[in-house]
Structure 1
Amino acid sequence: MAGKRSAGLLLFRGGGGEVEVLLAHMGGPLWARRDAGAWSVPKGEYLPPEEPWAAAGREFEEELGLPPPDGPYVALGDTRQSGGKVVTVWAVESDLDPDRLVPGTFTMEWPRGSGEQRSFPEIDRVAWFSPDRARERMVAGQRVFLERLAAHLAGG
């Protein structure tokens, strides 16, 4: 069986000057008190035959509650995270207002072993970061997308 796959959209703004990227803080009780390594490109899992590009847009809307911005989109390729999941990302220039976030939810047993199911937001907040600040907070396996975006913006 093939490993898990995710696709997502990395929004950026300030393409002509100071660049910032939009990251999402993972929701739920396991991430509530974490900052470093708890932020991600807005993304989600998909199963073939769904195409990664279609999944990226669908997941953006499911997780943030907003339609994906209009392109043009820049393919940043994919990477394999430490857990084995392959993540495919596109970048798009857009200026989303974090206050407009309407996150999707997921259900899990909480507290563990209680038998009680509770609902939590998939993402509890989004924020704009400079690439350096984003690198400090991002899931380590996704930092390569910041490098690829920087190379694209530098004309490489």
Structure 2
Amino acid sequence: MPKISAGILLHRLGVAGRELLLVHPGGPFWTGKDLAAWSIPKGLIEPGEDYEAAARREFAEEVGAMPTGDLVPLGEFSLSGGKRLVAFALEGDFDPRTLVSNSFEMEWPPHSGRRQTFPEVDRAEWFGLDAARTRLHLPQQPLADALRVAIDR
């Protein structure tokens, strides 16, 4: 059975139009990467957990703020390695300067025997729809189109 993640695409109407909140993964692998490196706040669903509850929990863990409001289903998307993403849209606001992410530990540098702690998300930023599409991981790029369809209903 494939691993399933749930996430929230937070969006707002900004000066230049619709903007999406994206997060940049922390850790040494992602340092200096920008295009096709960003994501929506998301994470694995716990066994028996409701998708919406998982999406809210993961958003809070990755950005440090519990999202409130009605979630709009965007659908299910294929990610790399056979993983699946159940995504929701939420109109709202968030100040990226207040980002507080959970962390993870890994051996770094590789084969050094030393373990270091890194933030799961090292920054968040608002992007217009076109800029967001170029920054999202390739399998997540359809989220921008799904949002357009959802808000045009």
Fold agreement, TM-score > 0.5: yes
Deviations 1:95-141 (A, max 9, x none): 11101101110000000101111000000000000110001110011
| C-alpha contact (below 8 Å) 2:52/2:71 kept by paired residues | no
CA distance in 2, matches of 1:59, 1:13: 20
How far apart, in 2, do the equivalents of 1:74 and 1:31 lie?
30
User: How much has 1:50 moved relative to structure 2?
Assistant: 1.2
* Residue 10 (structure 1) aligned with residue 9 (structure 2): yes
Q: Which residue of 2 aligns with 1:79?
A: 77
1:11 Cα deviation from its structure 2 partner: 0.4
Larger % of helix: which? 2
Counterpart of 2:28? 29
Corresponding residue number in structure 2 for 1:143: 141
| Structure 1 residue runs of 4 or more that deviate by more than 3 Å after TM superposition | none
Letter in 2 for 1:128: W
Q: 1:67-109: CA deviations, max 9, x gaps?
A: 12x2122100111113211001111001111011011100000
Task: Measure, in 1, the Cα distance between the counterparts of 2:15 and 2:35.
Answer: 28
Gaps of at least 5 residues in structure 2 are: none
Whether 2:70 is the aligned partner of 1:48: answer: no
Unaligned runs of 5+ in 1: none
> Given that residues 15 and 153 in structure 1 are in contact (C-alpha distance below 8 angstroms), is that contact kept between their aligned partners in structure 2?
no
2:80 aligned counterpart, secondary structure: coil
Q: Does 2:69 match 1:105?
A: no
Q: In structure 1, what is the equivalent of residue 91 of structure 2?
A: 93
- Alpha-carbon contact 2:69-2:90 (below 8 Å) kept: yes
> How many aligned positions are there?
153
The separation in 2 between residues aligned to 1:8 and 1:64, in whole angstroms, is 12
Mapped partners of 1:52, 1:84: distance in 2: 18
Any idea what the Cα deviations from partners look like across 1:3-43, whole Å, max 9, x if unmatched? 11110110000189710000000110000111011100100
Picking from 126, 129, 134, the partner of 1:128 is: 126
SS at match of 2:73: strand
What is the CA–CA distance in structure 1 between the aligned matches of 2:62 and 2:89, rounded to whole Å?
A: 17
Residues 13 and 93 in structure 1, CA contact (< 8 A), matched pair in contact too: yes
Q: TM-score, normalised by structure 1?
A: 0.93
What SS does the corresponding residue of 1:19 show, helix, strand or coil? strand
Identity fraction in percent? 46
